[in-house]
Chains A and B, each alone.
Chain A
Amino acid sequence: MDGLMIFDPLFRVPLFNGLLLALVLSTVGAYLRLRDEWLAAFALAQVAAAGGVLALPLGVPVVVTAALAAGTVAVVYGFLERVNNNHYGVAILMGWSSAIILAANTHQGSVVVESLLRGQLYFSGVGHLIGAAALLMILLVSLPWLSRRIMITRFFPDHFSANRQASWPHQVGFGLIVVFAVVLGTLAMGALPAFALFFLPSWVAFVLVSGWRRALLLTGALAVIAYFVAFVLAIQFDQPFGPVLVLVLMALLPLRLLGRVG
């Protein structure tokens, strides 16, 4: 029966892989929004896609080149005094144009870039699942320490330097989590659907509840529900998963009006 297709063993690994990523990406997205850096997720996703295209000619796994490209840009941003949406805009344009040009000039590049920009969730394997689970574990373990420090940096920017405490451990730690979340999300779902998970759930959740913990929980819940609905709809109606996920997430946007009324 068609209704049970999502329980087909073929889809089991992709289903759980996406569920874990929905939770990770949306949670990381909430912190990016806190830092007013949500556009960074899209910028790094585009750069990761461009890096991924180099995997075939170099003969290394896509995850390596994608992570190296996104990581390099993240490190460059780390050295800049103030990074804003202009810098992310430059990275988006650079990532997109590089990806297309590299794809046009490398063997099977167009196939790879197509999969990175559109996603290939149904073909994600146990390796992706282990990566997503590991990232979720790292996030959950580090969050109690990381969250407070990220917030202090946001609201009291010179607190650490004033008190002769190093801020690089949490800056680098969060940067690494963002890079790997972006890379895993891009490889599994495609650059734009991954960005939608970073961007939209927290945007909706933040206006609906009071309190950071509640906002995080609602962000994760909205992402997981939207993901699950999109997965079912895409399989049921034989549609590409990425665009369906983006549309389902967009369908949450009217909920923001409830926050304005309240």
Chain B
Amino acid sequence: MALDQECLIRLDQVTAGYSGPVVGPVSFSVGSGEIVGLGGANGAGKSTLLRALTGTARLFGGRIDCHRALTIGHHQQRPEKPPELPLTGRELLALLGAESPPPDAVKPLLKRPIAKMSGGQYQLLQAWACIDSGARLVLLDEPTNNLDGTAIEALDGMLATLGSSRSAILVSHEQPFLDRHCQRKVEVSPWTG
């Protein structure tokens, strides 16, 4: 089904999982310029739902309709940080075309190999890569993991750069973080059969 200009993605009674259903059914849509939070207990299937949007989890029921010009940037929970890789922060950002002047918190990471970054620094760099990639819909899965207060403030500033034409879906256990950014929250429940 074609979506209008204002709606980027619509989920209708979606049940998703891997070898079997994990989450759902759940229905919601994300409009242009909107930031939507996904809530739910641990193991409710929030990350699985994001993976269903990126095509890496299986759809067992319902449907997902996307705007034909939709592009997605997905910051995964616990992004993998391969050991000893000499790739620098700048090179990682360039992969997704994230080449705007970076926030102050990211600047010191540009010349640093990712192998020499802390977990929090790498997390922030990955989040900026997705946010600055130009993707119309940014999925951030627990982006505050490993971040201290200063880094969370930097992340707040990054989200502010999304503007009115780009959207995001946030998954976080930090309730204040969700409250600050989300216009709307959707409760996700595990699939119960």
Instruction: List residues of A whose CB falls within 8 A of some B CB.
Output: 34, 36, 148, 151-152, 154-159, 161-164, 203, 205-207, 209-212, 214-215
**A214 lies within 8 A of B82 (CB):** no
Q: Give which listed residue, B53, B85, B91, B129, contacts A162 with CB less than 8 A.
A: B53
Q: In the complex, A165 Cα to B39 Cα: how many Å?
A: 29
- Enumerate chain B residues within 8 angstroms of A164, measured Cβ to Cβ: 55
The 3 closest A-B pairs by CB, nearest first: A162-B54, A161-B55, A162-B72
**B82 lies within 8 A of A161 (CB):** no
- Enumerate chain B residues within 8 angstroms of A159, measured Cβ to Cβ: 73-74, 96
Q: Which of B49-64 contact A (CB under 8 A)?
A: 51, 53-56
Q: In the complex, A148 Cα to B53 Cα: how many Å?
A: 23
Q: Give which listed residue, B84, B88, B96, contacts A156 with CB less than 8 A.
A: B96
- Enumerate chain A residues within 8 angstroms of B74, measured Cβ to Cβ: 156, 158-159, 162
**A155 lies within 8 A of B79 (CB):** yes
Nearest CB of B to A162, in Å: 4
B173 at the interface (CB under 8 A from A): no
- Enumerate chain A residues within 8 angstroms of B135, measured Cβ to Cβ: 163
B2 at the interface (CB under 8 A from A): no
Q: Give which listed residue, A156, A209, A212, contacts B91 with CB less than 8 A.
A: A212
Q: A156-B96, A158-B51, A212-B91 are known contacts. Are A36 and B82 too (CB-CB below 8 A)? A: yes
B112 at the interface (CB under 8 A from A): yes
Q: In the complex, A161 Cα to B73 Cα: how many Å?
A: 11
Q: Give which listed residue, B55, B71, B86, B113, contacts A158 with CB less than 8 A.
A: B55
Q: Which residue of B53, B56, B82, B85 has the most chain A CB atoms within 10 A of its CB atom?
A: B85
Cβ proximity bits B129-148 to A, threshold 8 Å, 1 near / 0 not: 11000010000000000000
**A215 lies within 8 A of B86 (CB):** yes
Q: In the complex, A248 Cα to B4 Cα: how many Å?
A: 64
- Enumerate chain B residues within 8 angstroms of A161, measured Cβ to Cβ: 54-56
Cβ proximity bits B72-111 to A, threshold 8 Å, 1 near / 0 not: 1110100110101111100110011000000000000001
- Enumerate chain B residues within 8 angstroms of A151, measured Cβ to Cβ: 87, 95
**A210 lies within 8 A of B92 (CB):** no
Sampled A-B contacts (5; CB under 8 Å)? A155-B126, A162-B74, A163-B72, A163-B135, A210-B88
**B95 lies within 8 A of A155 (CB):** yes
Q: In the complex, A45 Cα to B104 Cα: how many Å?
A: 48
Q: A161-B56, A206-B85, A206-B86 are known contacts. Are A211 and B91 too (CB-CB below 8 A)? A: yes
